[in-house]
Structures are given as C-alpha cells and as structure tokens.
Amino acid sequence: MNQTTLVRRDSLREAIIKNFIIVAISVAIIYVNGMLVHIFIRHQIFNTNPRYILYIHLVINDIIMVILYILLQVLSYIVFTINVSLCIVLIMIAVLASQNNPLTMVLMSVECYVAVCFPLHHSRLCTVRRTYVVIVLTWLVNSLSIFPDLFVTLGTESTEFFHSRSFCLRSGIFRGNLENKRRISNIMFFVILWLVLFFTYFNIWFAAQTATANAKKARNTVLLHGFQLLLCTVQFFFNAIIEAFAVSFPRNVLYIRFVVAATVQLVPRIVNPVIYAVRDKAFKKHLNKHLLITANDVQPIKTQKLSL
C-alpha cells in the first residue's frame, strides 16, 4: 500500500488543479498573516502586550508552516525527490513550527486564565520579558522531539545517504526504530496540553457564570483554541489517518492524502486570524485601516490608466 502511494502520480491536469488551489489559498493566508505581523510591529499597543506577543508568535509559525507546505507540495510535483540534506533542514523547521503552535495556543489559554481568574496579579505574572523567555523555552522544549532523530540519523546513516535524493517525508528520512518513540512522545505531548486546556477552560467558564463580558470572551477564545488544538492533534497522526483511509479506499489514496493534508495544514492557519484579526477590536480597527489605505493607493493608478 505504501509503495502504491509513493509510485502512483497525478495526471498533469490533476497536478495543476491541486497546486493552483493550494498556492492560491496559501498566498491569501500569508498575505493576511503578513499584514498582522506588520500591524504588530508598527503599533506599541500590540508589541508591549504579552497576549499579542504570543499571538504573533503563533502567526509567524503559521507563515513558516504555510511556506514550507507550498514548497514541499510544489517540489513533490516538479522534481518529486530532493536532496536528503535539504529535506532534513526543511523537516526540522516544519516540525519545530508545527509543535510550537499547539504549545503557544495553550500558553495563550493560560494567559487568559490568569487575566480572568487573577486580574490583580496579571500585570506582575504576565510581563513582556517573561513572555519572550517562554517563547524561547517553547523552541528549546520542542527541539527535544526532533534533534534525537537527527542525531540517530547522523550516527547510523552513511555519507552517501545525505547526498542522495528522496521523497521528503519524515518517516522516510529519519529511518530506524524511531516511529514508536515519535508516537509515544506525541501522545504524551497532547495529553498534557489537553489537560492544561481543560483546566483553563473550566476555570474561566466558572468565572464567566458570575461575571463579566471579558470572562465570557476569554471562555470563547479558549474554546477556539481547543478547536485549533484538535486540528493540530489530527495533524500529528496524519500518517495513521492516511493508512486507515487507504485500506478502505485504495484507489483514491492520492485524493485522500491531498484533502487531509490541505485540511490539517491550512484550516488552522485560517482560524488563527479569525480569533484576533476579526474578533479583537484593536486588531480589527488597524486591519481595516490598512486595507482601506491599500485600496486608496490602488485607486489613483486605475484612474490614471483610464484618463490615458
């Protein structure tokens, strides 16, 4: 089954349609997220607030993941295989970015929990400096899941392997008896994250029963984080999902892989801007201003062409 999945190729028409859909959606996501990063950098109200700092860290990871997804998607159709050393670098960046996201979502939920349940201590506990320290620790902790794979591969594979070409998949590059380790670490990782998320949600939910609109908004935000975390959980069991569908629908493996990959990679990236760019009044105001400025900049060009 795995050999059939790797050998069979899409027709030219199917490949063009699939890549056009992926690239169009991805470019739109990168554009919106790029505007959010631009707004964050330019306005002090955002870059001095721990909540927005964590959010923009999430957005930057989304941009990295979407760019890598487009790159690997297009390369898989153009050249099919790439240099193993380059693939290792791309996989390591992708794994770090993908694991940063669920952990950052949970950290944002914890920040909401502190703001609602301990408002008098929020400014002392959630400072800008501590937020950046937590972000650095996030990268360091998540590196523990990918660097052991790298060290094992460096110690067991020959030099020729790193100069060879291969289809860029983590399971195909980091070989050896590592799959069980990855499954166990992923399960433990998400169990801990889900426990923390449930703890913060129910505590905020109880606080929202007695009070404020801010508590109710924080509860809804944590609920959205739960939906995103669910999508991230699905992403980490991508291969198992593909294999399960492939047994029932062996003739449609490529379509199933395309739909599942697009869903788990792009849908969370679409949800992220909704949480703050649409629901958050401050971000929404600056985003609307930016869009209006862009539209006004384009209008004189159109008028000038018409006059000529």
254 in a domain, yes or no?
A: yes
CA separation for the pair 33, 273 (Å, rounded): 7
List Cα–Cα distances, 226 to 72, 162, 241, in angstroms: 28, 39, 20
95, with CB counted inside 10 A (0-12, 13-18, 19+), is buried
Task: Please report the pLDDT score of residue 176 as a whole number.
Answer: 65
307 in a domain, yes or no?
A: no
225 in a domain, yes or no?
A: yes
220 in a domain, yes or no?
A: yes
172 in a domain, yes or no?
A: yes
**pLDDT string in tens for the chain (308-residue length):** 333 344 456 677 777 888 888 888 889 889 888 888 888 888 888 888 888 899 899 899 989 989 988 888 888 778 778 888 888 998 889 888 888 888 888 898 888 888 888 888 888 888 999 999 999 999 998 888 888 888 888 888 888 888 888 888 777 788 766 667 777 877 888 888 888 888 887 887 777 666 556 666 776 777 777 777 777 777 767 767 777 777 777 677 777 777 877 777 787 788 777 766 667 777 777 777 766 655 455 444 443 443 33
Cβ pair 26, 81 in contact under 8 A? no
Give the residue numbers spanning the domain of 185.
2-299
Q: Tell me the one-letter amino acid at 78.
A: I
Angle between helices 84-117 and 50-78 (to 10 degrees): 160
Structural domain count, the chain: 1
305 in a domain, yes or no?
A: no
308 in a domain, yes or no?
A: no
140 in a domain, yes or no?
A: yes
Q: What percent of the chain has pLDDT over 90?
A: 7
State the CATH number of the domain containing residue 47: 1.20.1070.10
SS3 content of the chain, % helix, strand, coil (to 5): 85, 0, 10
